[in-house]
């Protein structure tokens, strides 16, 4: 029996709560995971369900084991297009990745009437409360977005939203010098300027913004190479010394930086063979407990352990297609 069939049978008698009922708990969980950081939003159509919701707990029971990393990490490094790669220095990994990318040819820029198809896997785990893990949740894995999505850009999906065409052209014009490149990327993805979205320190702003640029599709290999070389110069950036698992269960290189003033770290995931971007994770960097109380609900304490994956998103496939609904 496959996992989704088992899941449906387990929760067959559980009533589906409406969005209004889930909203307060969803927001509290989002706040708990954020713990004061300015989070890079994952897809707007998936959110963590309310604390204690039967459906979320059932999903955790069935799928929770998929969040772990490899049980026996390899420290000798992966075999890649650049040869055997040791995972002991972010500069070594990212510059070797850039060397390999610079040898790859660039395809043509998509036409304005074409679409960007992506298939993703996403999981979340928001800690333990009363002994029960909450998450992960399911989502629609397939997405089609116009290459020239000008209407959405004008409406403003969120402060970090840029069309695929905007990112492609901005990335193609990035300078070779890492300091100048990082300044351009920070300008392209500006930091907050309000009490609710406060300004980030320069290093954190650089890592968040360059991660958004690195995950863009499509992007030329030469542009991605420049992005990786600049990423290696950001203060506080590290590489995990073993391959980790992305949300689709694939092995990946994790380029990491601890979030300022937080208990977690942001991880940009790269394919260990061709160095393409494959995903993003937020991982607990140190044990801590977080208590929620807004005066209207019972106080709830969530316990987090170092190494626990809070959110993970993997890009399984990406392609330029001619029409919405078309798959490569």
Proportion of the chain above pLDDT 70, given as a percent? 66
Identify whether 62 is part of a domain. Answer: yes
Identify whether 326 is part of a domain. Answer: no
Query: Could you list the residue range(s) of the whole structural domain that residue 68 is in?
Result: 3-321
What is the distance in angstroms between the CA of the first residue and the CA of the last residue of the chain?
29
Cβ within 8 Å of residue 257, ≥6 positions away: 203, 204, 207, 234, 236, 237, 238, 265, 266
Identify whether 327 is part of a domain. Answer: no
Identify whether 250 is part of a domain. Answer: yes
The model's pTM is: 0.75
Cβ within 8 Å of residue 50, ≥6 positions away: 17, 21, 22, 24, 25, 26, 28, 29, 56
Write out pLDDT tens, residues 115-144: 999 999 998 865 554 434 444 455 678 999
Say if CB 315 and CB 301 are below 8 A apart.
Answer: no
Identify whether 328 is part of a domain. Answer: no
Residue 85: the pLDDT is 82
Write out pLDDT tens, residues 20-41: 333 333 333 444 444 434 444 4
> Considering its fold, how many domains does the chain have in total?
1
Write out pLDDT tens, residues 206-246: 999 999 999 999 999 999 999 999 999 999 999 999 999 99
Residue 153: the pLDDT is 65
Identify whether 135 is part of a domain. Answer: yes
Residue 300: the pLDDT is 79
Write out pLDDT tens, residues 49-77: 222 222 222 223 223 333 445 334 444 45
Query: What does DSSP assign to residue 198?
Result: P
């Amino acid at each position: 029996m496959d996992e989704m069939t088992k899941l449906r049978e387990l929760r067959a008698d559980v009533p589906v709560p409406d969005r209004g009922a889930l909203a307060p708990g969803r927001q509290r969980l989002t706040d708990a995971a954020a713990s004061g950081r300015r989070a890079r939003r994952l897809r707007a159509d998936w959110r963590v369900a309310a604390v204690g919701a039967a459906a979320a707990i059932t999903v955790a029971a069935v799928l929770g084991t998929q969040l772990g990393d490899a049980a026996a990490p390899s420290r000798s490094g992966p075999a890649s297009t650049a040869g055997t790669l040791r995972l002991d220095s972010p500069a070594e990994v990212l510059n070797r990745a850039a060397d390999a990318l610079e040898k790859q040819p660039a395809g043509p820029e998509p036409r304005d009437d074409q679409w960007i198809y992506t298939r993703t896997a996403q999981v979340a785990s928001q800690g333990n409360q009363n002994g029960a893990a909450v998450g992960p949740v399911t989502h629609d894995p397939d997405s089609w977005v116009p290459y020239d999505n000008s209407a959405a850009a004008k409406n403003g999906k969120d402060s970090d939203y840029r069309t695929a065409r905007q990112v492609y052209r901005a990335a193609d014009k990035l300078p070779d010098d890492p300091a100048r490149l990082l300044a351009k990327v920070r300008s392209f993805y500006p930091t907050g300027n309000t009490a609710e979205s406060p300004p980030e320190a320069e290093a954190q702003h650089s890592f968040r913004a360059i991660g958004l640029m690195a995950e863009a599709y499509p992007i030329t290999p030469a542009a991605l190479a420049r992005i990786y070389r600049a990423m290696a110069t950001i203060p506080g950036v590290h590489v995990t010394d073993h391959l980790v698992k992305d949300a689709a269960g694939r092995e990946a290189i994790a380029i990491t930086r601890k979030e300022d003033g937080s208990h977690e770290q942001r991880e940009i995931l790269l394919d260990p063979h061709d160095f393409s971007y494959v995903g993003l994770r937020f991982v607990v960097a140190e044990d801590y407990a977080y208590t929620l109380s807004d005066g209207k609900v019972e106080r709830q304490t969530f316990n987090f352990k170092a190494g626990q994956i809070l959110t993970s998103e993997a890009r399984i496939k990406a392609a330029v297609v001619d029409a919405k609904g078309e798959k490569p």
